[in-house]
Amino acid sequence: MNTPRNILVPVELGAQTEPVLDYAVAFAAKLDAKIHLLHVVGRPLLGSEVSISVTETNMDAIMEQCQQQLEFLAEARATKAPFSAVLLKAGDPCSVIDATAQELKIDLIIMGTHGRRGVSRLLLGSVAESVVRTACCPVLLVRTGVDATA
């Protein structure tokens, strides 16, 4: 096994983002690795089956806001580990994460997982679980929350 030099860190831009990114930055710093920060804007859904139509103007505003958040996160940590890329993409998160990892020849993916169990896991699914099953490289999951109600 080779030491990871290119680490992909897909984030959701929520409360769990900073702990996952801080973990990845500390990990990358110890390995002298580069971080590729990624956020995937998924298709907004109402319920589990009915799509909401998002106008192009609204989508542009969402993308711009997400890009600013990503850049802020990377700039705040730039002195601790090198960021090779700050990427914002749209689509199915699992597919985009997998494709990005292959495209960038990523050695390791570090991402958060909510630690959901039971019914909430069945209803909400798990991007992390899907990525673990399909990724072209090792995946390190950082547990960011515990759902005590499930």
Domain-located, residue 52: yes
Residue 78: both structure tokens together: 């730039």
The β-bridge relationship of strands 83-90 and 34-41 is parallel
Strands 6-11 and 34-41: parallel
Global pTM reads: 0.84
Q: What angle do CA 99, 31, 97 make, to 5 degrees?
A: 15
CATH code of the domain in which 122 resides = 3.40.50.620
Q: Is residue 149 part of a domain?
A: no
Name the residue range of residue 100's domain.
6-143
Contacts of 51 (CB under 8 A, 6+ apart): 43, 44, 45
Is the pLDDT assigned to residue 35 strictly greater than 90?
A: yes
Please check the confidence at residue 27 and state whether its pLDDT lies above 50. yes
Confidence tier at 42 by pLDDT (50, 70, 90): confident
Indicate whether 148 belongs to any domain.
no
Q: pLDDT for 70-129, tens place per residue?
A: 999 999 999 999 999 999 999 999 999 999 999 999 999 999 987 655 544 444 458 888
**Can you tell me which residue has the tokens 């995937």?**
40
